[in-house]
Amino acid sequence: MHLLLVILLFLESQFCVQSSDSNSPAGDNLATNGLPFPWSKVRLPNYIVPVHYHLLIHPNLTTLKFSGSVKIEIDVKNNTNWVVLHSKNLKIFTATVLDEHEAHLSDKVLSVLEYPAHEQIAIFSPKILTSGEKYFLYLEFGAPLSDGFYGFYKSTYKTKAGETRVLASTHFEPTSARMALPCFDEPIFKANYTVRIRRGPSHIALSNMPLEQTVEIGNGLFEDHFEVSVKMSSYLLAFIVCDFRSVSGMTATGINISIYAVPEKWHQTHYALEAALRLLEFYEQYFNILYPLPKMDLIAIPDFQSGAMENWGLTTYRETSLLYDPDISSASDKLWVTLVIGHELAHQWFGNLVTMEWWNDIWLNEGFARYMEFVSLEAVYPELKVDHFLDTCFGAIGRDSLNSSRPISSLAENPTQIKEMFDTVSYDKGACILHMLRNFLTNEGFQSGIIRYLRRFRYSNARNEDLWDSLIKTCSEEDFTAGEYCYSSTQATKNAYRFAGEHIDLKKMMSTWTLQKGIPLVTVRRQGRRLYVGQERFLKIVLPNDPSWNSLQEGYLWHIPLTYKTSHSEHEVKHLLTTKSDVLTLDEEVDWVKLNTDMNGYYIVHYDEEGWNCLTELLRVNHTALSFKDRASLIHNAFQLVTLPTDVSETVYMVGAQDDSGWAYLLEKYGVSMCETEKSKFLSALASSKDSKKLSRLLQLGMGGTVIKTQNLPSLIYMVARNPVGHFLAWDFVKKHWNELVEKFPLGSFGIRSIIVGTVTQFSSTEELREVEVFFKSITEQVSQLRVIQVATENLEKNIMWLKRNLETMRTWLQQRLN
């Protein structure tokens, strides 16, 4: 009750916040032809290692099929007759094993066993493959271009004249390279790639590396040969055949950067080129490692499910994430494009140069890239005023305060579990604990530590603990100028001393943030010069008097880098809280204490009544005594208040969409607009209609995929669901079309997760909760592995509890103000 009144007081004063990896049962481990499959685990064996792929791929944009061949140089670690690798939905025409001179090991046609449950194939060699010898695996294959957004898939766009044109593009992360070619599709199997692509004369082909030569092969076909790639994971391979136009520029270090888009949107590529040039140069300086490829292409794909993908040297984007029309796009559109480019370019080092060993540590890629968005823009584009990093952490806290959250580093074995790892925990919480760590180590200590990390593990793979080890070592400038990394366990951990004046076990500290789920609540009570602090796990929907409270708190302990300011301090004070409770002594009597300076720490603070009263009074008489970030964190800590600013144009569209003619006009404009950011505003306005028939029509158009592209269906469902008229409409639509939706958006994908969360979290009654539980129970077999179901239902329970606690207080407060 007290905290709610604090919030309302702040608002009144116009304060605002600008699989498992288990063996299959022996009887179940059968290939499609009924023979025993030689491998029973989800992960591949480690005794065959790919060294170099020689890939030829030919997409036919008329028949919408592709064919190809791949010759994989392999390194054999143990004697074996079997080669097991990944393949999904591919027809294997030929399989052969060659010796180091590329002579056939067998005169017989080698049989291929398929095990679709694990997306694996196995090739039997009659002659034993000997450890230490060099061999080649040669396969010919083909398949239809995928209808979805993964693997090698078709995309279409319409010209202004109404002509539909087709292109073929790839999206392999996390486990879909196997849909385009047979391969060892796990991040640890890094290899070189030599790519050749066949195409018609009216198209161009792109891949990770620059074009080396083009050969005319007859029948109106050309074959583009690309340079050999650097050593990289399979999910970073990319190739595209399209008829796009580009604009290009060169960095100060000689890297050629090109932005590609459909021809009629070419004029929208120029800002992305400027941003990419400046941001790539920034990263080369910040990481003290030159970008290792000769070129960097950024291409806007008309059909794209996620925001973007960091394929090394050929990054792919949704059009709204790359294209900027200065005549139409808004300031927030410009900021979004810049952030996404900053994210994908950061991946060229974090993720591409150094890759996580397995998907349980995907946050090493995504958390870093998300955080570097803000670091890079703060340095390169200060005029864009990127001040919403707090919102990133607010979002992470919202997820992490539910029991259905997960540790940053979590078990993920099969493709569905792996796809679910690409969530707010990996991206946003990962970014927030890195921000806390940077504040802990100082900017200079953090930067030099990650340079060591990148230098030590470049072209290789790393785990959580490798990052902590790199961050606590120290290097001299000579080590860097000599091009070496520094990694000596005998050197002092100087970075730790800077924080608390004592030796800190950084690995032990950070394990409390990455290996256990949740977020700590720090309690504060001031008595004279003594500050009594404690920590417990913060949970939104469980109170201390709940029977499950103790069990949900048991075993949780964080090493929390506390920071605080007082009415009498000129600088923040630091203390590492490693126990359940502690007592700090202030230098003098003070009027107030504010913990978590600028919300640099990933924890929530709860003051006693006197502490809240003192801060409330401070805000009343002199709110500038606290920084904007401190004021924002106070409001958030009191009530998880997040603002959602909207462009004026979107507001105007929403007003216009409320009558029949305005709605019809916006739908017509949506169909012909060539600016994707403008189209997203049109769609949001169309979904704000109070006419349920219009909302139903929108959902049907989204399902059709012609007027409204399939890639936009998840966001459309969410837009309709957040409209009070559309709550039940969207939910009923999802229930009715569930099987079709899962065909379009695989289980675990961002699309299906946003559909579930976007509809379920709009509800706030026990009756609605029961209905949701009944539906998901009816499809248990499909969704039993999905963590997002628990996330969504727990959010619904949170809504119910919030109303129960606060509705009457809010109603009374509003009535008093209105009267």
Q: What are the residue numbers of the active site?
A: 344
Q: Supply 674's token pair.
A: 């060539």
User: Looking at residue 459, what DSSP letter applies?
Assistant: T
Is 343 marked within a binding site?
Answer: yes
DSSP string, 635-664: HHHHH--------HHHHHHHHHTTSHHHHH
Give the whole-angstrom CA distance, residue 305 versus residue 287: 30
Q: Supply 654's token pair.
A: 């929403």
219: left (phi over 0), alpha (psi -120 to 50) or beta: left
Non-local CB neighbours of 355 within 8 Å, separated by 6+ positions: 187, 188, 190, 232, 233, 365, 460, 461, 462
User: Looking at residue 230, what DSSP letter applies?
Assistant: P
385: left (phi over 0), alpha (psi -120 to 50) or beta: left
Query: What's the farthest any 2 CA atoms get from each other in the chain?
Result: 93
Beta-bridge partners for 166: 156
| Phi, psi (deg, nearest 5) at residue 425 | -70, -50
Q: Supply 196's token pair.
A: 């050749």
User: Looking at residue 425, what DSSP letter applies?
Assistant: I
DSSP string, 278-321: HHHHHHHHHHTS---SSEEEEEEESS-SSSEE--TTEEEEEGGG
377: left (phi over 0), alpha (psi -120 to 50) or beta: alpha
Is 347 marked within a binding site?
Answer: yes
Beta-sheet strands, E only, within 99-199? 112-115, 120-129, 134-144, 151-158, 164-171, 192-199
CB distance 145 to 180 below 8 Å: no
Is 366 marked within a binding site?
Answer: yes
User: Looking at residue 487, what DSSP letter applies?
Assistant: -
20 by DSSP, 3-state: which?
A: coil
DSSP string, 564-619: EEETT-SS-EEEEE-SSEEEEE-SS--S-EEESGGG-SS-EEEE-HHHHHHHHHHH
Element (H, E) at 780: helix 780-783
Q: Supply 669's token pair.
A: 């404009």
| Phi, psi (deg, nearest 5) at residue 393 | -75, -35
CB distance 390 to 636 below 8 Å: yes
49 by DSSP, 3-state: which?
A: strand
Q: Could you tell me the strand order of the sheet in which 80-86 lies?
A: 80-86, 120-129, 112-115
Cis-peptide, bond into residue 210, ω within 30° of zero:
no
- Number of Cβ within 10 Å of residue 687's Cβ equals 26
Q: What angle do CA 294, 300, 303 make, to 5 degrees?
A: 135
Burial track 81-99 (b if 16+ CB lie within 10 A, e otherwise): ebbbbbbbebebeebbbbe
How far, in whole angstroms, is CA 196 from its chain's centroid? 30
CB distance 409 to 360 below 8 Å: yes
Closest CA to 356 of 194, 216, 464, 470: 464
CB distance 662 to 631 below 8 Å: no
CB distance 117 to 31 below 8 Å: no
What is the sign of the dihedral through the CA atoms of 664, 665, 668 and 674?
negative
- Number of Cβ within 10 Å of residue 425's Cβ equals 25
Closest CA to 566 of 594, 585, 526: 594
The type of residue at 658 is Q
| Cα separations in angstroms, 665 against 325, 681, 726 | 22, 14, 21
Residue numbers in the known binding site for Zn(2+) are 343, 347, 366
Query: Which residues fall in the annotated binding site?
Result: 343, 347, 366
